[in-house]
Amino acid sequence: MKTRRTFIRFSIRLISSLGIFLSPLLVLAQSTVAQVRRMILPKGTDLKSLINRNPRSLDTRNLEPIPTERFGVMGLQDHSVEIDRWRLEIDGQVEKPLQIAYGDLVKLPKIRRNVLLICPGVFSNFGSWEGVSIKTLLRLANADKGATHVTVRGPRGDYEKVQRFLISEIENDLVFLAYAVNGKALAPKHGFPLRAVAEGYYGFDWIKYVYRLEVDRIQTGS
């Protein structure tokens, strides 16, 4: 019994001393959380007022999609593909590399999300984007369970852009591939046949004319 009481007293003193040591760390952690807390935008917010804001800092739950005709456009606008020959390629750290035709892609389970796109200092769009979850595609390709990132490429050719996303963002559908917006197939200027929708990223990371996904397994520190 004496041994037990001694252990309890020791544990209490240890916890108390740890509390003194950890309290500054807890304050720092709480401060960090407060800094990333997103501001809830009220219904009817003027999208023009958001062009200089970081999309990661904004909660858009109350916003309503604007007509596609009012969307601003950035980057390449006139890229075209032969849709009957076009394929979405999925390779890298996968067991079964895939090439998926557009007609087969649109038959896969759909995802639809309202997401804000900000082109810094120029325009902001808020649309209802519809497409396919990248995690669905990764499962079809039997992606490596240890995959850490997915690299998105588009378009094929001289104007290709590349953006790498964390697998956690893929799993949470913060990043997915859209083939329609506001109920209609993407117009060429918006990235037909596929574009990345990347919540929390600026518009220049929303790769248009996507033709390839590369599954990566990147070691820590590389």
* Residues 73-132: tens digit of each pLDDT: 999 999 999 999 999 999 999 999 999 999 999 999 999 999 999 999 999 999 999 999
Task: Work out the number of other CB atoms within 10 angstroms of the CB of residue 163.
Answer: 18
Conformation bin of residue 209: beta by default, left when phi > 0, alpha when psi is -120 to 50? left
- Is residue 81 located within the same domain as residue 17? no
pLDDT at 25 over 70: no
The per-residue pLDDT for 8 is: 39
Distance of alpha carbon 119 from alpha carbon 21, whole angstroms: 44
24: confidence class by pLDDT, cuts 50, 70, 90: very low
* Residues 181-202: tens digit of each pLDDT: 999 999 999 999 999 999 999 9
- Is residue 99 located within the same domain as residue 148? yes
- Is residue 62 located within the same domain as residue 23? no
- Is residue 12 located within the same domain as residue 99? no
Task: Please state, rounded to an integer, the average pLDDT across all residues of the chain.
Answer: 87
For residue 222, tell me if it sits in a domain.
no
- Is residue 30 located within the same domain as residue 68? no
Conformation bin of residue 164: beta by default, left when phi > 0, alpha when psi is -120 to 50? beta
- Is residue 47 located within the same domain as residue 71? yes
For residue 138, tell me if it sits in a domain.
yes
For residue 132, tell me if it sits in a domain.
yes
9: confidence class by pLDDT, cuts 50, 70, 90: very low
Give residue 161's identity as a one-letter amino acid code: K
Q: Percent of the chain scored above 70 by pLDDT?
A: 82
Q: Which domain holds residue 45?
A: 39-216
- Is residue 115 located within the same domain as residue 26? no
For residue 74, the surrounding DSSP H or E stretch is none
pLDDT at 222 over 60: no
The per-residue pLDDT for 118 is: 98
- For the chain, where are the E strands, in sequence order? 39-40, 58-59, 87-92, 98-101, 110-119, 123-132, 149-154, 161-166, 175-181, 184-185, 195-198, 212-216
What string of DSSP letters covers 121-134?
Answer: TTEEEEEEEEEE-H
| Mean pLDDT (whole number) for 10-17 | 40
- Is residue 9 located within the same domain as residue 94? no
